[in-house]
Structure 1
Amino acid sequence: MLSFIAGLRGLPRTVWLIGLISLVNDSASEMLYPLLPLYLTSVLMAGPKVLGLIEGIAESTSSLLKLVSGVVVDRTKRSKPWIVIGYLMAGLARPLIAFVNSWGWLLLIRFSDRVGKGLRTSPRDALLAESVPRNKRGLVFGFHRSMDNAGAVIGPLMAALLLALHVPLRDIFFWAIIPAAITLALAISLKEPKQVIKIQEPGFQWSFDGMSPELKRYLFAAGLFALGNSSDMFLLLRARELGVPQAQIPLLWAAVSLITTLFGAPLSAISDQYGRKQFILVAWVGFVIFYLGMGIPGLPIYALYSLFVLYGLFKAATEGVEKAMVADLAPMGRTGAAFGWFNLITGVMVLPASLVFGEIYESIGPSYAFWFSGGCAICSIALLKIWVFRSNI
C-alpha cells in the first residue's frame, strides 16, 4: 500500500492534470448519461431500438475519429489541440439536449458529443503512455480511469439530487454547462511535452504494417468481445424494468462508478508487477457472469445489486489494464495509431452490438439479449486463452 501511494505521488503533473480534466468532464457527462434512457422513453416516446441506433451511430463515429486523431498525433507529435477541441465540442453539445423535441435531434447532439470524444481520446491516451516508463503504465491508466469514474460518481449523485428536488428532466441538462467550462479551462492549461524524438516518417501511417502479431490478435479478440458489450444504457433500462425506482437509477450507476474508482488504480498497478493477462481473463469471466445473470427473468433486487457490484469490479480490472496492454504492444513512435486502432475496433462494434441487442431486447425479450452478449464474451475468452496469449505478455 505504501508503495502504491508513493507511486501515485510520483506521477508527473501531466498525468494529474489529465486525471482532473476527466473527473470534471465526467461529472457533467455522467450526470446526464443515466437520464437519457428515461428522457428518451418518457419525453421523446422512443424505445430500445431507437436507443440502440443512437448509441451505435454516436459511438461508432467516435471510434473512427479516434483512429484519425491517433495517427495525426503520431505524425505531428502534438496532443493538446485535439484534446482542447474535443472537450470544447462535448461541452457545447450536452446542454442542447434540453431543447430537443424528437429523437432525431437527440441523435445529432449525441453525435456531436461523441465526435469530441473521438478527437481527444487517442491523443490523450498516447500522452499518458509516453509520460511514464513501461512498468508504471498500469498505474497511470488505472489512476486516470479512477479519476474518470470519480466524476461518474459525482455526476449521478447530482442527477439524483435534482430528481429528488423534482427538477424537470429538461432543466437538468442545463447544469452541464458549468463543468464544461471548467473542463475547457483545465484543458487549455495543459502543456505540450518537449519532444526528444524527431519525426522520421514521411507521411501518415494508417495501416497495420509494423504492428506486432500479438497486438493484432489482441485487437481481434477485443473486437469480438465488444460485439457483446452494447451500450450501458441497456443495463439501466433493464434495472428499471426489474423494479429499481427511477430516482435510484442514477444512484445505482454512481455505485458502479464508485467501485471502479476505488479499485481501478490498485488493480491496474498490480498488473505492472504480475502481468496484464490474468486480469483481463478473470475480468471477462466476471462480465459473462454479469450478463448471464441480468438475463434471468424476475431477478430479485438484491441479486441485481450484487451483479452491479460485480460489473463495477469488471470495469475496474479492465479499463486501465486493457489500455496498458495496448501501450505495451505498440511499436515505438506509433502509440497513437495503436490506441487509434484499439479504440476504433472496440468502439465501432458498439453500432452492431447496440442494434442487435436492441432488436433482440424488443423483438424476442431482454433475457435473450443479455445471453447473446454473454455468449460473445465466452468466445472471446476462448480466443484469449488459446490464441492471443500463446506467449507471455
Structure 2
Amino acid sequence: MAGRGGWRGLPAGIWALGFVSMLMDVSSEMIHALLPAYLTLGLGASALAVGVIEGIAEATAAITKVFSGALSDWLGRRKGLAALGYGLAALTKPVFPLAPSLGWVVAARFVDRVGKGIRGAPRDALVADLAPDGRRGTAFGLRQSLDTVGAFLGPLVAIGLMWVFANDFRSVFWVAVIPALLSFALILFAVSEPPRPAGRRRVRNPLARAELGLLGGRYWLVVLVASLFTLARFSEAFLILRAQEAGLALMLLPLVLVAMNIAYALTAWPVGVVSDRGGKVALLALGLGLLVLADLVLAFAGGLWGLALGVVIWGLHMGFTQGLLAALVAESVPAELRGTAFGLYNLVTGVALLLASVIAGALWQAYGAQATFVAGAGFASASALGLPALARRLGGARPAA
C-alpha cells in the first residue's frame, strides 16, 4: 500500500487536514487578495509599508511555530494545538472588517498569524505521523494541493463579492468569517490523532541542546537550502502590486492569486508523488529555475499577458518546492522531534521571508517594480549553490518504504 501512487493508501485524517487547510485558506485569501489594495488605496499605506506588514506577519507566525512545535513534541500530541491555532485564526477574522485604521489592520494580521503559527508545526508533524512510510511526499503534496485550492477559491469568491457589494472591502471581509469557522469545526470533529507508538521515546525538553543535536546535519542542510529559496521569494503581495501597476482593474486584482494558486495546486500533488520515487533535488532545481524565469518575465514582459505568464510560472515554482521541502524535513529527523523540526524550519524561513519582503519593498519604492523582480532572480540564481551539497547528503537514496 505504501508504495502505491496517487491518492490510494492515504489515511482519511490526511484528507481531512487538507480540507481544514482549504477552508481556512478560502477565508484568509478572500482577505489577503484584497488587503494590499485596501492598505494602499483605502488606508494610504506605501509599498514599503506593505512589505514590512507582510514580512512581520509571516515572521510572527514563524516564531510562534517554534514553541508550538516543541510543545507538541513534549506533550506527544498534535491535534489539540493545531485546533487551537485554527480556532484563534477564525475568531480574529471579524477584526478585519471592523478595523477603523491601519494600526487595527496590522494588529488583526498579527493575531491571525499567531494562530497560523500555533497550528502550523503541529499540523505538519501530524501529517507526517499519519502518512505511511514512503508516502510522505504524496501526503504533503496532497495537503498542499487542497490548501492551495482554497487559496484560489478565496480570491474567486472575493471577485464575485466585490462585484455584488460594489467594491465594498468590508462586506467581503465579513463573508470571509464563515469558511474560517467551518475549518475550525472540521478539525475538531473529523480529525483523529493516531495512537502513539509504544516504543517512541518521550522528549522532556525538545529545545535542549542535546535534543537539537539529534536533528542532524541533513536536517540543517535542508533548512539552509529552504532559507536561500525563501530569500529569493518575497511576499505574493508584490504580485498584486505589479498587477495594479500593469493596469488590472481593482475588482480583478484577486485574479493574480487565482492564477498563481491554480498552477500551484495542479503541480504540488503530482510532484509529491514523483518525489517519493526519488529525484527530490532535481525537482527542487527545476522549481528554482521556474522562480528565476518568473522573476524575469515579471520584470521585463509588458502588458497583462506578460503579467499572467509570470504569475503562472511563479505558481509552478511553488508547486515544485514547498511540499517537497516539508517532506524532506519530515524524513530527516526522529519522529518524536518532528514538531520541533518543523517549528525551527518555519522560524528560519520566516525570518528569510521578512528580509526578502522588506528588501523587495525598499527596492520597489526606490527603483520600481523591475528592479525588485530582477533582484529576486539574482537571489534565486545564487541559492542554487546549496543544491549540490544537498544532493551529496541525500546520496540519491529513497525514503524507507
Q: TM-score with structure 2 length normalisation?
A: 0.92
Alignment correspondent of 2:203: 201
SS across alignment from 1:389: helix
The 1:198–1:271 alpha-carbon spacing in structure 2 relative to 1, beyond 3 Å, is closer
| Contact 1:134 1:328 survives alignment (8 Å) | no
Separation of aligned partners in 1, 2:360 and 2:196: 45
Alignment correspondent of 1:371: 374
Please state if 1:184 is matched with 2:184.
Answer: yes
Alignment correspondent of 2:348: 345
CA distances 1:123-156 after superposition (whole Å, capped 9, x unpaired): 0000101112331011100000110011112111
Please state if 1:9 is matched with 2:8.
Answer: yes
Runs of at least 5 residues in structure 1 that lack an aligned partner in the other structure: none
Q: TM-score with structure 1 length normalisation?
A: 0.94
CA distances 1:80-133 after superposition (whole Å, capped 9, x unpaired): 111111111111222211122222211110000000000001000001011123
- CA shift at 1:332, angstroms? 3.6
| Contact 1:142 1:264 survives alignment (8 Å) | yes
What is the RMSD computed on CA atoms of the aligned residues? 1.7
Please state if 1:281 is matched with 2:285.
Answer: yes
CA distances 1:306-331 after superposition (whole Å, capped 9, x unpaired): 12221121111112111111111123
Separation of aligned partners in 1, 2:180 and 2:132: 32
| Contact 1:86 1:119 survives alignment (8 Å) | yes
Alignment correspondent of 2:41: 42
| Contact 1:96 1:173 survives alignment (8 Å) | no
SS across alignment from 1:97: helix
SS across alignment from 2:45: coil
- CA shift at 1:292, angstroms? 2.3
Alignment correspondent of 2:22: 23
Letter in 1 for 2:134: N
Separation of aligned partners in 2, 1:19 and 1:123: 14
SS across alignment from 2:160: helix
Query: Map of 1:276-355 to 2, 5 A cutoff?
Result: 276-296=280-300, 299-355=302-358
SS across alignment from 1:191: coil
| Segment of structure 1 superposing worse, 212-221 or 200-209 | 200-209
Alignment correspondent of 1:240: 244
Runs of at least 5 residues in structure 2 that lack an aligned partner in the other structure: 397-401
SS across alignment from 1:135: coil
Letter in 2 for 1:289: L
Alignment correspondent of 2:399: none
SS across alignment from 2:100: coil
Please state if 1:93 is matched with 2:59.
Answer: no
| Contact 2:363 2:371 survives alignment (8 Å) | yes
Aligned residues, how many?
388
Separation of aligned partners in 1, 2:204 and 2:71: 13
Alignment correspondent of 1:357: 360
Separation of aligned partners in 2, 1:11 and 1:204: 29
Query: Map of 1:56-205 to 2, 5 A cutoff?
Result: 56-165=55-164, 166-189=166-189, 190-196=191-197, 197-205=199-207
Alignment correspondent of 1:382: 385
SS across alignment from 2:193: coil
| Contact 2:155 2:257 survives alignment (8 Å) | yes
The 1:252–1:235 alpha-carbon spacing in structure 2 relative to 1, beyond 3 Å, is closer
| Contact 2:83 2:184 survives alignment (8 Å) | yes
Letter in 1 for 2:145: S
Please state if 1:216 is matched with 2:217.
Answer: no
| Contact 1:288 1:378 survives alignment (8 Å) | yes
| Contact 1:206 1:337 survives alignment (8 Å) | no
Separation of aligned partners in 1, 2:319 and 2:6: 18
Separation of aligned partners in 2, 1:110 and 1:141: 26
Separation of aligned partners in 2, 1:146 and 1:367: 30
Separation of aligned partners in 1, 2:206 and 2:147: 30
